């Protein structure tokens, strides 16, 4: 069946005479406004179940997209399903707008639509996903090597509220890998320097800097009320506190660590819906004795490595907020930068785990010796 193309003006005239106009762009695209009288249904959804929106296969149906290609493809798909009176609007919404034809008001402002335009084009994100990101509350532990890319990309992605926790100040030796900070920030608290950079990148997100070291006394209060926690800490004391508090509060912990030329990432979430999650103590029940922990100032790390691992953590955080894809829960991703190789280990919950096992043995929180964990 040959699908005729009509002009936007002709489409408007037919709509006013009773034809059905369907805008097949994605939800995020339609947030910028639709042609007058249009019904908004993403192309994939329309083609999968057209009768849900178009029960009469003999009704006149006009298809509209951004420029005319997707609407033609949608019309052809509908023709194959028995629809007989179809037309595609040439030039799509772009031409409709250029010709000054009536449009519905945008549901989001121009900054939102332009800033997140590439997200809005993704069916896995779209308008509702971007709004979900804006509603999310994320706690970040550490504004150093791992925290730097995480902070920048979460702010850029539009995560609405980010609490940044760190007690350190910017040192010149940090700048080789901690790209959240600048030379002029040396001596400033990392959370202040970091919050400034994040707000400069995206002023629409709320960054809450908290200059503090996590301890048994404050860890649960700092974590409570968030959707997830990202661990970018550099010492075992903090990492175990974060893990234990996440277990108690039922929060996912997005984990990352780096050492010299190697890094690893995972998601620890025993309370994961559907099961299958474990915690950090399932992998490492107890921290190593201080004498076996690496020395932070002597072990070293290639500067780009925290960028790679931190971006993996940021990706996992965004996926968890959106509820898309398969997270790293139950898997440990290992990265060898020298060989440029990723390996994966399967993780299972330890029934004897002191934190999340069948008979948890941890009572409250404990301040452990710091011990460098090279995060």
Q: Determine the Cα–Cα distance for residues 375 and 233; give it in Å rounded to an integer.
A: 5
Mean pLDDT, the chain, rounded, equals 94
For residue 248, name the pLDDT band (cuts at 50, 70, 90): very high
Please choose, from the candidates 261, 255, 265, 256, the residue with its C-alpha nearest in 3D space to the C-alpha of residue 304: 261
The catalytic residues are 296
The model's confidence at residue 1, banded by pLDDT at 50, 70 and 90, is confident
Position 258 pLDDT exceeds 80? yes
pTM metric for this prediction: 0.88
pLDDT band at 290 (very low <50, low <70, confident <90, very high): low
In this structure, the strands spanning 341-346 and 331-336 are: antiparallel
Write down all domains in the chain, each with its CATH number in brackets.
5-108 (3.40.250.10), 136-346 (3.40.50.720)
pLDDT-based confidence at residue 299 (cuts at 50, 70, 90): confident
Over residues 366-370, the mean pLDDT reads 80
Q: Which residues contact 346 (CB under 8 A, 6 or more apart)?
A: 330, 331
Q: Which residues of 303-339 are buried (b: 16+ CB within 10 A; e: fewer)?
A: eebbbbbbbbbbbbbbbbbbeeeebbbbebbebebee
Asked whether the predicted pLDDT for residue 373 surpasses 90, the reply is: no
**For residues 26-52, average pLDDT:** 94
Query: What is the average pLDDT across 280-307?
Result: 81
Q: Residue 286's pLDDT is what? A: 87
Give per-residue pLDDT as tens, 211-246: 999 999 999 999 999 999 999 998 899 999 999 999
Other beta carbons within 10 angstroms of residue 282's beta carbon come to 22
CA 140, 143, 145, 150: dihedral to nearest 10 degrees?
Answer: 40
Among candidate residues 220, 63, 223, the one with its CA nearest the CA of residue 141: 223
Q: In the prediction, which pLDDT does 40 show?
A: 96
Tell me which DSSP letter residue 174 carries. Answer: G
Tokens of 115: 């800033």
* Structure confidence at residue 374 (pLDDT): 57
């Amino acid at each position: 069946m040959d699908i005729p193309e009509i002009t936007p003006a002709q489409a408007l005239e037919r709509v006013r005479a009773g034809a059905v106009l369907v805008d097949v762009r994605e939800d995020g695209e339609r947030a910028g406004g639709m042609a007058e009288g249009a019904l908004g249904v993403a192309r994939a959804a329309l083609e999968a179940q057209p009768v849900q929106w178009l029960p009469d296969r003999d009704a006149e149906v006009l298809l509209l997209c951004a420029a005319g290609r997707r609407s033609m493809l949608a019309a052809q798909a509908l023709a194959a399903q028995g629809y007989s009176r179809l037309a595609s609007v040439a030039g799509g919404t772009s031409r409709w707008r250029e010709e000054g034809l009536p449009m519905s008001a945008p549901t989001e402002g121009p900054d939102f639509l332009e800033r997140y335009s590439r997200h809005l084009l993704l069916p896995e994100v779209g308008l509702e996903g971007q709004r979900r990101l804006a509603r999310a509350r994320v706690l970040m532990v550490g504004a150093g090597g791992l925290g730097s890319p995480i902070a920048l990309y979460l702010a850029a992605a539009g995560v609405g509220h980010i609490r940044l926790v760190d007690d350190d100040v910017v040192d010149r030796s940090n700048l080789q890998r901690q790209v959240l900070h600048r030379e002029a920030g040396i001596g400033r608290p990392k959370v202040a320097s970091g919050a400034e950079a994040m707000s400069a990148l995206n002023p629409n997100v709320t960054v809450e800097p908290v200059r503090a070291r996590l301890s048994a006394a404050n860890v649960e209060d700092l974590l409570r009320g968030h959707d997830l926690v990202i661990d970018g800490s550099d010492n075992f004391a903090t990492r175990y506190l974060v893990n234990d508090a996440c277990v108690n509060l039922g929060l996912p912990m997005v984990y990352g660590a780096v050492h010299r030329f190697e890094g690893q990432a995972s998601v620890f979430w025993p309370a994961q819906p559907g099961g299958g999650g474990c915690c950090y103590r399932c992998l490492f029940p107890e921290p190593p004795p201080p004498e076996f922990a690496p020395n932070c100032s002597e072990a070293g790390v290639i500067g780009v490595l925290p960028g790679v691992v931190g971006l993996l953590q940021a990706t996992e955080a965004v996926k968890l907020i959106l509820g898309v894809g398969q997270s790293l829960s139950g898997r440990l991703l290992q990265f060898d930068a020298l060989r440029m190789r990723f390996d994966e280990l399967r993780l299972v919950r330890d029934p004897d785990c002191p934190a999340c096992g069948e008979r948890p043995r941890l009572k409250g929180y404990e301040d452990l010796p710091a011990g460098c964990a090279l995060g």
